[in-house]
Structure 1
């Protein structure tokens, strides 16, 4: 069955302090939250929003679910397990299914895409997993959408899921796991606006496609909501059709350096494994960086850059993959949300490393609650 999600009521009491950081600093007088302020470069911020209180929804996918009979196949996107980002988050969902609902590690199989591979290669990978009896099979990334739909038609008794995918008139045995990336990106945009001193803030996208534009759109809206005069500069590593932008750290470093050279002192990336290069550029320039998908501060593969990572936008692919596997084990998919958004803890932000102080968190939580309540509608299309 599709499991029901429990509701936890969180009443968050947040207090004001005399000043806030970065763009929110007032160079001439204290900012108590009753009015905006200018920092040393003249970047004005809005009033601090009211403290947040309200209901948030948490998942309860694993309760009384037995996954021991499942053989789970996982088809990674470029970079695979160890990318410190999107794929690692999916892998964490599978690992949780092993630890929490009894999926046997020896009954799982992981296969990884290669750079610039053909559609036939994706079909072959998915067909191999299906022929070997894996059920369900989870494809990680929108690039698998068409291939998954085709293979699902060949194996109607096998359940398939595609993270970020979508195909019109897909077979009934395909589930698409989508996210409100723009909502989580809005929250880290708030953080960027509060932490920036130059009020020029950068965004590096891996590939210029609508999915990654959602990250850019939400981030820019979050920055500009807090600091309307802030400047957001953006760079995509590759254009649509060239997926190497998600797995080219040197190009990620070049892209980030270009934004830093324009004055950006906080840089957010949505670039998969290329994000390692973004972190490298930030460390070299002694500026701050924001990770994506996983809590990248705690990722071993980017540990050398953790001192510049102030937060990460959490795209809870791990939650979606785990919830989906648990739903298949329960033989009912009807409880999965149509979109993994802030309401269901499908996106969020990290606080590892202690760089998000209580004042900053107060701003973020207030805006988060406004989004959950529908008072703020976050765009999924960049404004310019």
Structure 2
């Protein structure tokens, strides 16, 4: 046992001498989105700081940057992260050319099973199901919506889960809340996000789920402007009092707990633990625990969920919070399967569920 301990220490010592570097390459969304990209980066930073290894980021300005940026990273790093579904084709082309470098893909997978490639995908529909259910239970106008970025598979699963949550609430409570889906067709245009939000609010929508990356910064701006105009609140306490008693507006965050970006204006967030995925990718490569292939994370694996609602939990009825916790339990036990396709959504029924309270 003592000899094994010495060998492990020597291994870490030699890695430290010769260096170990991790580089994350972003898609065009880049850092600063407050959700998907920032969440992935936070997991990398956390792992690298804990392990005492070097890390860096290369940000892509346009899609033509993907291959050169990934190639540049592969030449100087031991682990290269590619973040975003739109990078998948470039990712596999470069990974094939650099078999001695570990490659971690976030939000996509492929049948191209390279030994130096590990990918992480998520059951986005499970997290957004919870926020969709919450939205249906909290709306005062009977209209909620989700704004997606580009209609790629992860975003489509987000939308299907959200609409399934609304549908489940309607079936269990005999309500008729309307759920609407619109696409911004971009992840990097806050102005478009604001315009779409203002249009939805004019239609009577009072709660909007974001699944559009940096475009959601415009959703936050529009909702803050409207709430502040109507409430005349001077602080968070006055805002929450107003929202409790009146018809205010809320955004639902995506990927990370976004509430801190606009306390009181963001009701909750659908959590997609990209930080857990990126953290695991670094640790497995550094510790020699690498396994190629895809890892899928959902509620059961603590890779999907709903935020703690640090500012707004007091606005939500206890009964609704308890129902959401019970639905989480059913998903973990396999008794409730959240739809991930349009056909599954159309056939989705939950009337057999009975809450034990």
Specify the alignment match of 2:201 in structure 1: 260
Specify the alignment match of 1:293 in structure 2: 255
Q: Hey, what's the Cα distance between the residues in 1 that align with 2:58 and 2:46? A: 18
Query: How many residues matched?
Result: 302
Asked which structure has the greater RCO (Cα within 8 Å, sep 6+), the reply is 1
Structure 2 residue matching 1:208: 3-state secondary structure = coil
- Aligned ranges 1:35-184 → 2 under 5 Å: 69-103=19-53, 107-115=54-62, 117-118=63-64, 121-132=65-76, 134-184=77-127
Q: Deviations over 1:118-140 (max 9, x none)?
A: 2xx211001101112x0111110
Q: Hey, what's the Cα distance between the residues in 2 that align with 1:109 and 1:96? A: 13
State the 1:368 CA deviation: 0.7
Structure 2 residue matching 1:343: 3-state secondary structure = coil
Structure 1 residue matching 2:112: 3-state secondary structure = coil
Q: CA RMSD in A?
A: 2.0
Q: Hey, what's the Cα distance between the residues in 2 that align with 1:327 and 1:336? A: 13
Q: Deviations over 1:276-300 (max 9, x none)?
A: 11112222333111011111112xx
Match 1:333 to one of 280, 290, 295? 290
Between stretches 264-273 and 326-335, larger displacement belongs to 326-335
Q: Deviations over 1:249-285 (max 9, x none)?
A: 0001111222222211110010000001111222233
State the 1:210 CA deviation: 2.1
Larger helix proportion of the pair: 2
Q: Hey, what's the Cα distance between the residues in 1 that align with 2:45 and 2:125? A: 27
Q: Hey, what's the Cα distance between the residues in 2 that align with 1:169 and 1:84? A: 31
1:312 aligns with 2:255: no
Q: Hey, what's the Cα distance between the residues in 2 that align with 1:345 and 1:210? A: 21
Specify the alignment match of 1:3 in structure 2: none
Unaligned runs of 5+ in 1: 1-64, 239-244
State the 1:337 CA deviation: 7.4
State the 1:370 CA deviation: 0.7
State the 1:336 CA deviation: 8.8
Structure 2 residue matching 1:138: 3-state secondary structure = strand
